[in-house]
Amino acid sequence: MCGIAGFMYADRQHPVDPETLVAMAAIQYHRGPDGFGYQRMDGIGLAHARLSIVDLDQSRGRQPFVSTDGKLMLTKNGELYDYQRIRADLTSRGDRFQTKSDSEMIMHLYPRTGLDKMLTHLRGEFAFALFDKEQDRLMLVRDRFGIKPLYWTQVNGVLVFGSELKVLFAHPDVPREFDPQGTFHQLMQTIVPGSTAFKGIHQVKPGHYLDIKRVNGQLQISEQKYWDMPFPEASERSLEYDENEWIEAVREKLLEAVQLRLEADVPVGCYLSGGIDSCSIIGLAAAARQNPVKAFTIGFDNKAYDESEIATEMAQSAGADQDIMMLDASHLYDNFVETLWHTERTIYNTLGVAKLLMSRHVRNVNYKVVLTGEGSDELFGGYPAFRRDMFLHGLDHLSQGERTEWEKLLAEQNKLFKGAMLAEDEIHNAALESKIGFTPSCLQPWLASAARVPDILNTDLLSQLKGYDPGAAIAAQLDGDRLKNRHPLDKAQYVWIKTMLEGQILTWGGDRVDMANSMEARPAFLDHHLAELAAKVPPSLRIKGKTEKYILREAMKGLLPEVLYKREKFAFMAPPAHTDKKKWNAMRELSSNYLSESAIKDAGLLSVEGVDALFKSHDDPSITAATQNKLDAVINHMLGVQILHKQFVAEDIPTLAKKRAQELGWHA
């Protein structure tokens, strides 16, 4: 895992400033502290900050790579698996590799197959920029699920890109201004796919690439999709199937994904919580390794949210060497500002802070690679919102009385997370219902939060949002062809994958807080071979009756302790602020700085009166715990936009980036 950066001018003769390339690498030093490099060619420059995981030889693995014939230039972030087999095959066909890096195979596959066919061979999590000099073509490619970030913008005849927003802002031509719609979505938690909080700054969407060509002195940009979650149409699903065959297939594909991700030239550990996702990963990893696997667990001082005890049972069962980091939840706000610098978006829960502290701990004990359980809920229907959509829309045989009973049971089982994981009240959005057939339960809590956003926005921003429908904006970015004629559970999972997985779990719950401490996380469940199988698993085997992730439970039954096998989904999150007086006081202390009247007026994003009114609503003793959960999230988002404004708009990022380069001794 590394950090990438670069820029391309419409004018081939435009000089490329090497100091800017170095500064763009230096501002993301945390992503790649093991070295940096840059290359220039015909009005384009690429840069790279390296975290060495495969091929530790610094002289060989340094990027950007330039092909021996000088026609290709590459900078890549991430890991590609099964590269040894592909390298051996290409070598037998006459190719000669200069390194043992997984990245170099892109330089050999592309001339043989072209980009689209090459992408079918790439397995893993990645983002890369590949420049083809002969075609005068730059390709910005992001992995299938968006595990690795990739941002871009076009301004004043130059396209600028990088692994993080701050990398783009290190380029002197890139403006730093909040976008009204982006601000709205930061305050409601769910962003529009492909967008950011900042005006003119975009993300390459998961499973897509940006194709940039210079034509008649102009940059010609097109966005191309190369992969999407392949849920079959309902008519293509057979009503008759062999359950055991599906169980065996899931077990086989997951084991293969884990084994591939254990490959590295450095030690590999595992994150371990109390869910069957991470427990399955560590169980398989422990069985596949000769030595005990290192297991890293987060524990909270609030017993209602702490999973360390059940995680310990799994660690003991697998013979893992467990390392538990116990956290006083009241101290999470002490690290909130630092976490926002890395997430570059707002967070609704301080779990993101806890994970940043965990990745720091992992690096401090000399590990820089871990396997994680992210993606299991998305593939196998693990979230309570999926169960709700299944029995409301996917089980025609249920009577209304049974639906009411099941919903009551679901609410009781998830009462800690009501208002966050499940909406307090039913929410409907016309645009989403027109496109999907119903408003997915996973979006309803955040659509409920959206109703509060106009009251806390600055009047100038609010006037620019007249008539804006955030649900419609999200719906517009969903591929209708992938939703048409699909089972309701498929639709619900697809929407979550396109919104919450990429925009939340893989961002402030994944790459950004892990790479903040130069630590690589590998989510084995998001292997696309496993995902393509999971999409075809019958919905009734993903959620069987009231049991979520049924097929995964059965596939992993042999290695899970009984208490884990029978355990229902428990959302892994930090205790919200209202659950602990010390934590609430810590949040209010941070608010006294960032949500003060002067701070709000300086940023020009929020309304002083609206912020005060929201705090008063939270202090109302008559509100429910679910409403408190929702208001806690909105408060975190208000803090977030204020902090982001100070860090990325008020701060002179180009100067900061050059200063960072000087401190590191990185220079052109």
Q: Which of 64-73, 440-449, 589-598, 617-626 has the lowest mean pLDDT?
A: 617-626
- Distance from CA of residue 365 to its chain's centroid? 25
Average pLDDT, integer, range 72-94 = 92
What's the pLDDT score for residue 461?
95
In what helix (H) or strand (E) does residue 41 lie, and over which residues does it extend? strand 36-41
- Asked if 129 and 75 count as a contact pair (C-beta separation under 8 A), the reply is yes
Pair of tokens at residue 51: 């975290």
Look at residues 7, 262, 295, 299 and name the one whose alpha carbon lies nearest to residue 159.
7
Q: List the beta bridge partners of residue 298.
A: 325
pLDDT value for 567:
77
Supply φ then ψ for residue 371, to 5 degrees. -90, 145
Distance CA 31, CA 39 (A): 19
Phi, psi of 168 (to 5 degrees): -65, -40
User: Which two tokens mark 358?
Assistant: 């965990």
CA distances from 664 to 6, 28, 53, 390 (A): 19, 12, 21, 53
Confidence label for 1 from pLDDT (cuts 50, 70 and 90): low
HEC readout, 174-219: CCCCECHHHHHHHHHCCCCCCCCCECCCEECCCCEEEEEEEECCEE
Q: Average pLDDT, stretch 345-361?
A: 95
Give the whole-angstrom CA distance, residue 373 versus residue 368: 17
Please say if the pLDDT value at position 58 is more than 60: no
pLDDT of residue 463: 96
Count the Cβ atoms, other than its own, within 10 Å of residue 138: 24
Asked whether 509 and 339 are in contact (CB, 8 A), the reply is no
Predicted confidence (pLDDT) per residue in 15-40, tens digit: 999 999 999 999 999 999 988 999 99
Rounded (5°) CA angle 482-485-488: 85
Predicted confidence band at 59 (pLDDT cuts at 50, 70, 90)?
low
Percent pLDDT > 70 in the chain is: 97
Question: Mean pLDDT over residues 333-349, rounded?
Answer: 96
Q: Please measure the distance between the N-terminal and C-terminal CA atoms of the chain and give it in whole angstroms.
A: 23
More confident residue, 347 or 60: 347
The confidence score (pLDDT) of residue 454 equals 96
Q: What is the reported pLDDT for 614? A: 95
CB burial of 287-299 (b: ≥16 within 10 Å; e: otherwise) equals eeeeeebbbbbbb
Residue 88's CB is within 10 A of a number of other CB atoms, namely: 11
Of the candidates 574, 164, 597, 608, the one whose C-alpha atom is nearest the C-alpha of residue 336 is 574
Which residue type is seen at 235?
A: S
Residue 398's pLDDT is what?
Answer: 73
Instruction: Supply the pLDDT for residue 570.
Output: 62
What confidence score (pLDDT) does residue 416 get? 65
- Give the phi and the psi of residue 20 in degrees, each rounded to 5: -65, -40
Residue pair 631/618 in contact (Cβ under 8 Å)? The answer is: yes
User: What pLDDT is stored for residue 458 in this prediction?
Assistant: 96
Q: What was the pLDDT predicted at 578?
A: 83
486 SS3 class: coil
Q: Is the pLDDT of residue 419 over 80?
A: no
Give the Cα separation of 610 and 607 in Å (integer): 5
DSSP per-residue codes, 364-407: HTT--EEEE-TTHHHHHT-SHHHHHHIIIII-TT--HHHHHHHH
- Edge to edge, what strands does the sheet with 36-41 contain? 36-41, 44-50, 2-9, 158-162, 151-155, 202-203
Calculate the CA 533 to chain-centre distance.
22
Is residue 270 part of the annotated active site? The answer reads: no
- Fill in the amino acid letter for 258: V
pLDDT, tens digit (0-9, with 9 covering 90-100), for 562-576:
888 887 766 677 888
Q: How would you class 441 by CB atoms within 10 Å of its CB: exposed for 0-12, middle for 13-18, buried for 19 or more? A: buried
Answer for the pair 192, 502: CB distance below 8 angstroms, yes or no: no
Residue whose entry in the numeric block shows the structure tokens 């840059």: 38
Find where tokens 């049974």 sit. Answer: 402
- Judge whether 338 and 303 are in contact, CB under 8 Å: no
| Average pLDDT in the chain | 93
Residues 46 and 75 sit within 8 Å (Cβ to Cβ): yes
Quick one: tokens of 487?
């089972």
- 8 A C-beta contact, residue 611 and residue 562: no
Which pair of structure tokens corresponds to residue 58? 């610094």
Task: Compute the distance between CA of residue 152 and CA of residue 200 in angstroms, rounded to an integer.
Answer: 9
The helix/strand/coil state of 330 is helix
What residues contact residue 94 under an 8 Å CB cut-off, 6+ apart? none
355's CB contacts (< 8 A; 6+ apart) are: 298, 509, 513, 514
pLDDT at 57: 57
Q: Give me 627's structure tokens.
A: 């409403």
> What dihedral angle (degrees, nearest 10) is formed by the CA atoms of 376, 377, 382, 385?
-170
Q: What gap in Å lies between CA 183 and CA 378, rounded to an integer? A: 27
Burial class (CB in 10 A: 0-12, 13-18, 19+), 303: exposed
Contact 579, 539 (CB under 8 A): no
- b/e map of 206-237 (b: 16 or more CB within 10 Å)? bbbbbbbebeeeebeeeeeebbbbebeeeeeb
Single out the residue of 18, 12, 23 nearest to residue 45, CA to CA.
18
Does 545 score more than 60 pLDDT?
A: yes
What pLDDT, in 10s, does the model give residues 123-145? 999 999 999 999 999 999 999 99
Q: Are strands 208-215 and 137-142 parallel, antiparallel or unpaired?
A: antiparallel
